[in-house]
Each structure stands twice: as C-alpha cells, then as structure tokens.
Amino acid sequence: MSTVKRNILLTAIFLLLLYFAGSAQPNNSTAPAATITENELNAGGNGLKENQNKASNFIIAEILVNGNRKTKPYIIERELSFKRGDTILLADLIAKFEYARQQLMNTKLFNEVVVALKSFRGYQVDVEISVKERWYVFPIPYFKPVDRNLSAWADKNYSFARVNYGLKLYWDNVSGRNDKFKAWFITGYTHQFQFSYEQPYADKSLKHGYSISVSHASLKEVNTNTVDNKQVFLKADSIDYAGKYLNQLSSLFIGYYYRPAIRTRHSLLFGLTMNKIDSAVLVANPKYFNNGQTKIFYPELTYRLEYTKIDYIPYPLKGFMGEIMLTKKGITSDMNLLQLTAKATRAWDLGWKSSYTLNAGGMLKLPFDQPYYNSRMFGYGDFYLRGLEKYVVDGVAGFLVRNSLRRELLKFNVNLSRRAGSHSNIPFRIFAKTYADAGYAYNKSFPDNSLVNTMLYTAGAGIDVLTFYDFVFRFEYSVNQLGEKGIFFHVKNDF
C-alpha cells in the first residue's frame, strides 16, 4: 500500500472515531501501555539486583513526572499508592508500579502511562512516571433526524423541520486538575441546552470537589406508553400541534464529592426539577404523572458510593468495581419516589489471554405504586439485556446478571507520523467472546407487556474492538427467549 493511500486510510479511521464521539462522550484510552517487570527494575544496575535478593526495603527518594503539558503533577501523584519517603519492599514496589499505571489510565487523561525506576542510590530509589496526554477539547457538530431511521425520514420527504442540529462541546482537564466542562446547544425540531462543570479536586488536600449543571429541553415528542414491549411516542404534528412543545423540562443540580483515598468516592447531589407536559399527554396516558398533574416541581437528593479496584474501567479483565446509589425525588404525592440502585463488576484473569466477567445490578423503587414517568427499567441507558435491545421493560423492582467469557485474539498498534506526538500510535485489541444474560422486572401498575413479571434470558457471541479514547466497538450476535436472533452493534462497553 502506498504512503498516500495508507495516510488516507488512517485519517478516515481517525475521523470515524471522532464521529462516534458524538454519541459516546469522549472518555479516554484503551489498554495497558506498559507493564513493569523485575527486569525493568533491575535496569538501574547490578547493585539493585543484589539487594533484591536480600528482600531489602527501598526508600522512595524522588517521584519525577514528564510528558504532562496540561495535567498538574500533583493530580498524577494523587493516584499513586506510594509517596516520597515511603519504605517499600522490592516485590511490593513492582506491584505498586503496575497499580499506579492502572490508576493513571483510569483517570481518562492519558493515552499511555509508563511507571519505572529511574535511578537508585544505595537503598534510595527515584521513580519516573512518563505520560502521553490525550486531546481534551472536542467540539462536535450535531445533526440527527428525529425519525427512527432514514427510511422513516424519507416518508416525511426528508423534511429539515424534523431534524435536530447544533453543537456538543466536551472539554476535559480544563485547568489541568481533571475537571470537566460540557455544553450542548441543540435546536431544530426540539430545543435543548445544557451546561455542566465538575471539579473533583477543589481543595489543597485533593479530597473534596463539586459540580454544577443546568439544563432545559423543549420537546415535541413524548414517550407516553409502552405497548408490545416497545415505546410509544406522542408527536405534536400527529395531533395538529405543529410548532407546539408537548414537554418542557428544566433542572438545576449542585454536587459535592469526597474521595478520602484512592479507591473509594462519595458523592452527594441536590437538584430542583420543573417538568411540564401538555394535557394531550394525559389523554394518551392518564397515569403519566400522579394525581393527573400537568406540571410538577420537586427537589431531588442522591447519595452515591463508588469503589474501584479494576485494571481498566472501560473494559475490565481483572479486579472489582461497584456502586450503590440512593435517590429521593419529591416530598409530596405529586412526586414521591425512593430509589435504590446497585451494580457491580467482578473480572477474573483465567490465563491464556482469557478472562471471565460477572456483572450484576438491581433496582428498587418505593412505593410500588409509581406513575408511568417513574417506571423505566431495562432498555434505558446502559441497563439492558444483550439480545433485547429493541425492547424496553418497565418496572419498580428488578435485577440483571451478565456473564461474559473473553479471549484476546489480536493486539497491535497502527503507527502514524511522529509529528502526531502522543497520537503517533493508535492501539487496537480484539477480543472474541461468548455471553449469557438474565433479568427480571416486577411491574405492579403496568403489567400488560409480556416481558414484565417474568424471567428474561439471552445469550450470544461477538467480537469486541478496543482502541484509544476508551472506544469499545462491540459486534454481537444474540438470541433471546422469544426465539429472536439478530446482530447488534454498540460503540461502548455498558454496565
């Protein structure tokens, strides 16, 4: 292949990845950049190799960071399980180097991380951390017809009036402290805007942080019912309401974060929400809100506890991570919901480039008598069974279990021009997998759909492709308990 054709191909691949960033918010990076071994530690000289045989303690003298043009050095050192002056056994030092690399990759700030021994002076050692930073600013044009697919849009003569367009801006690491800014401007068929800022390390101790977000959406379509396990939408132009909004939703949220150490994070989120619907929505579903209301205003309070000890968050192959979330919405009968959500992932390295991953999650909503607006469960966001993607399952209590067996098939880099800097290599890892899922959703108020109040089962096989910026391309062939088969494509690793 000529150099010109190769560059065109690589450019096309890169632009394709940026396109998918419009639907999957850019996180970052793929797989381990390097693994620290005893041989690398011994690179400092024969004296250290002799000392290792004595199981001696080594003192961390200096921690040197390079490659971080934007990220503050203390943000990098925040992720380390060791600090200057610590006394550590050689065997423990090897493990701590690998853990440090994993933690830094999981910050989603870097394409590559190498943690290594730089030099030693007797029993004093200097540690060097080399990083390659990612791009942090992503202005992404947004253009999407509101119809289900292009054929449905063609039936409307490709009307531009049925298109949403605008700009989504993602800006990570704004001040070099792993803070994030997000802004959405969407107009056309619907009007939406959103601003949010998150600063996880706002004080000198790097343990406390905050966030703030404000959003508004004016919608001409509302999901009013679930029929035959599929969403049913009420559209303004279908009821001679052309130009009129059926739903207006505004919210303001303020968050507080506390991260006392490395693995555990607490967050507390308080918000106010105003949700207004047109009376036509109640005609379509009188139980859409409680008490026949067309406008509800309510406070919301959420506490979340997260624990992470995993090799790579976007695609776990070894370790554990989990979270528990408790949410209270409303204080009156118009909105009265107490929701408990929990999910966990445990991954085992089986050797032979294979791993087994178990995902489990559950949801409980009290009281059980909830309006349709509060009854969403499977099929919304990342909470679904593989093989039932085209369906939704509503409920007030349920659980989900996923089992995945993976084996790495290929691992390689595509080399670009050196002038690309930290993006001179695009890493790829390809996995084959088999999987089986099970779930159950209890629905007291809306029991008419066949997938509620019954056990759900799916299974399948597929190929996963990992590349930089945490993109996971999943190609899956699934079969569900209805006997339906199909090929599904996803751009991220859910759950």
Give yes or no for a contact between 185 and 141, defined as CB atoms under 8 angstroms apart. no
- Residue 178 token pair: 């792993």
Q: What is the pLDDT of residues 190-231, one digit of tens each?
A: 899 999 999 999 999 999 999 999 999 999 999 999 999 999
**Between 58 and 417, residue with greater pLDDT:** 58
Cis preceding linkage at 367, omega within 30: yes
**Which pLDDT does position 353 carry in this prediction?**
95
- Residue 269 token pair: 């989120």
Flag the least confident range among 30-34, 106-110, 446-450: 30-34
Give yes or no for a contact between 456 and 393, defined as CB atoms under 8 angstroms apart. yes
pLDDT-above-90 percentage for the chain = 72
pLDDT-above-70 percentage for the chain = 86
Spatial distance between the Cα atoms of 233 and 231, rounded to a whole number of angstroms: 6
Spatial distance between the Cα atoms of 84 and 145, rounded to a whole number of angstroms: 55
The dihedrals phi and psi of 75, each to the nearest 5 degrees, come to -70, -35
445: closest CA among 346, 354, 492, 377?
377
Q: Is the pLDDT of residue 80 over 60?
A: yes
DSSP per-residue codes, 415-432 = E--GGGGGGSEEEEEEEE
Q: Is the pLDDT of residue 51 over 80?
A: no
Q: What is the pLDDT of residues 126-170, one digit of tens each?
A: 999 999 999 999 999 999 887 766 666 777 788 888 899 999 999
Taking residues 247-262, report their average pLDDT: 97
Domain with CATH 3.10.20.310 in the chain: 23-133
Flag the least confident range among 87-91, 124-128, 349-353: 87-91
Into which CATH architecture does domain 23-133 fall? Roll (3.10)
Q: What is the CA radius of gyration of the chain?
A: 25
The reported pTM is: 0.85
Which residue spans within 319-395 are E strands per DSSP?
Answer: 319-332, 335-351, 354-366
98: closest CA among 312, 284, 304, 334?
312
Q: Is the pLDDT of residue 48 over 90?
A: no
